[in-house]
Amino acid sequence: MPNRFIKPEGLSNNPAYTHVVAASGGTTVYISGQVAVDASGATVGSGDLEAQTRQVMENLQVALAAAGATFDDVVKITTYVVGYEPAMRAVIAGVRGSYLSGDNPPASTLVGVQALAAPEWLIEIEAVAVIA
């Protein structure tokens, strides 16, 4: 059975995420939080949230492909942003939108945090995918 992206009546419909994703069968893939580092471990986009978000999404794409998945298989993402302010959401959404399905975006949580593991990192995103 393929993943089901459910938009329940009684909850506001937000095009950026799906409130409920039902997944069954297949292979579940858990991807550790990805940060803005390239393949050599160097930070990309120091001080630039948009550049860091793009690198994080590229890293997620590589991780998904390694497991035989794509962004269409992602059922849940959690985003951590240092010093989060509401204006940052548009920057993150602009980048995310070029990677995630507009029709069936995954369930999503965004959390503002004080810091990440390295002081130059502004954003970290982890993902769960289910390959049918």
> What is the phi/psi pair of residue 131, to 5°?
-95, 115
State pLDDT tens for residues 39-98: 999 999 999 999 999 999 999 999 999 999 999 999 999 999 999 999 999 999 999 999
Cα distances from 42 to residues 35, 36, 51, 57, in angstroms, run 10, 8, 13, 16
Task: Please report how many Cα atoms fall inside a 13 Å half-sphere around the Cα of residue 32, on the Cβ side.
Answer: 1
Please give the domain boundaries of the chain with CATH numbers for all domains: 4-131 (3.30.1330.40)
Strand pairing report for 4-6 and 74-82: unpaired
Q: How many CB atoms lie within 10 A of CB 97?
A: 13
Nearest CA to 76 out of 123, 25, 125, 8 is that of 125
With a cut of 70, say whether residue 1 has pLDDT above it: no
Please report the pLDDT score of residue 77 as a whole number. 97
Q: What is the pLDDT of residues 5-35, one digit of tens each?
A: 888 898 988 888 888 989 888 899 999 999 9
